[in-house]
Amino acid sequence: MAKLSILLSRYNSSSKKKGFVKYQDIPATERWAEYSIDLYNLKKALIGASFSDKYKIMAAIAKAEAKVDYMYKHSNFDMKEALQLYKKFKRIA
């Protein structure tokens, strides 16, 4: 499992500087699997977290869920391939 601080910094960053990619160039299937694994790890970390960390984790979960939903609705998304990637990533993590 990735460290909680890394996951929180990934989803609760204060930096507004972002790069832009063309809509059709987004690898939605891979991103969906990646964000789903992060979401799984965040929910797992929520169980043993302190009271103050739970708010940070819940904010990160909300952002991760939004990203998962966005990638699911993307035109490049392939559910069969996404589930295969998710299973592979989960075995590794």
pTM: 0.86
Is residue 57, in this structure, part of any structural domain at all? yes
Q: Is residue 13 domain-resident?
A: no
Q: Please enumerate in sequence order all residues whose Cβ is within 8 A of that of 9, keeping only pairs 6 or more positions apart, or say none.
A: none
Task: Look at the chain and report how many structural domains it folds into.
Answer: 1
pLDDT score for 5: 87
Spell out the per-residue pLDDT of the chain, length 93, in tens: 568 888 888 888 776 667 788 889 999 999 999 999 999 999 999 998 999 899 999 999 999 999 999 999 999 999 999 999 999 988 987
pLDDT attached to residue 70: 95
Domain carrying residue 37: 25-92
Q: Does 42 map to a domain?
A: yes
Alpha-carbon torsion 20, 64, 28, 9, what sign?
A: positive
CB-based burial, 9-48: b 16+ in 10 Å, e otherwise: eebeeeeeeeeeeeeeebebbebbbbbbbbbbbbeebeee
